[in-house]
Chains A and B, each alone.
Chain A
Amino acid sequence: MNVPWTSVWLFQKAIHLWLLGFLFSALGTAEWLWDFPISPPLPVPDKLGWVTHFLSAKGSQASVYVAVLLLVLFSLYNLFRPVRWWSALLVWLCYTNLMNLAWMAGSGGQQLIANVLFWNIVLSLGRENALREIASTSAFWIIRLQLVLAYFVTGICKLTGSAWLDGSAIGIAVSDSAFGPNG
């Protein structure tokens, strides 16, 4: 159950480096993603869903700019300084809201990062007392199992069809122009 905190530190830096890379790669499309979004607004799942869907449902242009700016600033902060729970919270809030605002450009990878960023808030609580240690240790194992879960579930889902069982699935997927080398 012991947590390798040096690896956690490296992992947190890697996550924020990815975030900055993603943001810079998205800059050329920013107008369609966030400024005048192509994606129609998503329905808010429930009251708690407002936390992650505020920009999609009610956000103004100014609030989108603020979210992008905060995401860049606090990703940089978390990259170069020890990650605090409040800075991790801000990064998660901005990222998930921007992801849901541009859901048409989303992917499983982005959902995975959103989940990891949520648990990163708890992971950042550290080991100052027993309660914090329980929380951060739980977050560490939840993040590890989240990756296992993604691959396990996608494997099980494939067993419910026929193409993966009769061996034709790979051929169908790679000959699809959207996914294969002809795309």
Chain B
Amino acid sequence: MGRNRWVVITVVVLHTLLLLAYTLPVQFIPGMFRSLSIAYARPLFHQSWQLFAPDPPPCSCTIEVIMNENDIRPIDQDRGYLEHRMAQTIARSIQSELAQGDSSPRPELVRAMKRMVGDIERELGVLEFQLHEECIVDPQSPTERIVRITKLKTADQ
């Protein structure tokens, strides 16, 4: 290795520094270096390591389909782990949109949600959906949560 050792060290350090600039919180990275890191990392090395950061979400959320007044179930009920992940991504995206003041979810999210219950909808006709949230009141007692239900406007999408 010998002389080439320094070439390897330079390549590895540069790559790691650019990835750090791309993934660390924005306030820690100078703007110019941040832009450079986005240009370098986004196309091929995109990654995000914000698991439960900066804080875990204060509200759990689920999208539920309303079959009738006695039968309301999660859109991923009895499905596998990848379906659970998809349903959770849809629920978090809709939760975030509603929190920003949008009155109805984006059409592509509604389409995704309806696709997950496509077999039920073919059988029962147009279905209604709701966002089911369970929110902490006191962070020191996280198991005590209040339930918040938001009906979703999806009929015309």
B:102-154 near A, CB below 8 Å: 108-109, 111-112, 115-116, 134, 136, 139-140, 142-143, 145
- B93 nearest in chain A by CB position: A104
A-B pairs, top 7 by smallest CB distance, nearest first, are: A161-B54, A157-B53, A40-B108, A161-B55, A48-B43, A168-B139, A163-B55
- Asked if A38 and B115 sit within 8 Å, CB to CB, the answer is yes
- Asked if A108 and B51 sit within 8 Å, CB to CB, the answer is yes
Which residues of chain A are near B11, meaning CB under 8 Å? Answer: 134, 138, 142
Listed by A's residue number, 21 A-B pairs whose Cβ atoms lie within 8 Å are A28-B80, A29-B83, A32-B115, A49-B42, A51-B44, A134-B11, A137-B8, A141-B8, A142-B11, A142-B12, A145-B12, A149-B16, A149-B23, A156-B28, A157-B53, A160-B27, A160-B53, A171-B140, A175-B143, A176-B56, A177-B62
B63 vs chain A, min Cβ distance (A): 12
- In angstroms, Cα B86 to Cα A29, docked, is 11
B26 vs chain A, min Cβ distance (A): 10
Chain A 165-183 interface 0/1 with B at a Cβ cutoff of 8 Å (1 = within): 0101101111111100000
Q: Is B32 an interface residue (CB 8 A)?
A: no
Q: Is A60 an interface residue (CB 8 A)?
A: no
Binds B, one of A5-13, A79-87, A111-119: A111-119
Residues of B within 8 A of A (CB): 1, 4-5, 7-9, 11-12, 15-16, 19-20, 23-25, 27-28, 42-58, 60-62, 80-83, 85-86, 88-90, 108-109, 111-112, 115-116, 134, 136, 139-140, 142-143, 145
Q: State whether A156 and B82 are in contact (beta carbons under 8 Å apart), knowing that A142-B16, A177-B60, A177-B62 are contacts in the complex.
A: no
Known pairs A1-B5, A149-B23; list 7 more (Cβ under 8 Å). Answer: A25-B82, A104-B85, A104-B86, A108-B49, A134-B7, A154-B50, A178-B61
Which residues of chain B are near A176, meaning CB under 8 Å? Answer: 56-57, 60, 134
- Asked if B48 and A108 sit within 8 Å, CB to CB, the answer is yes
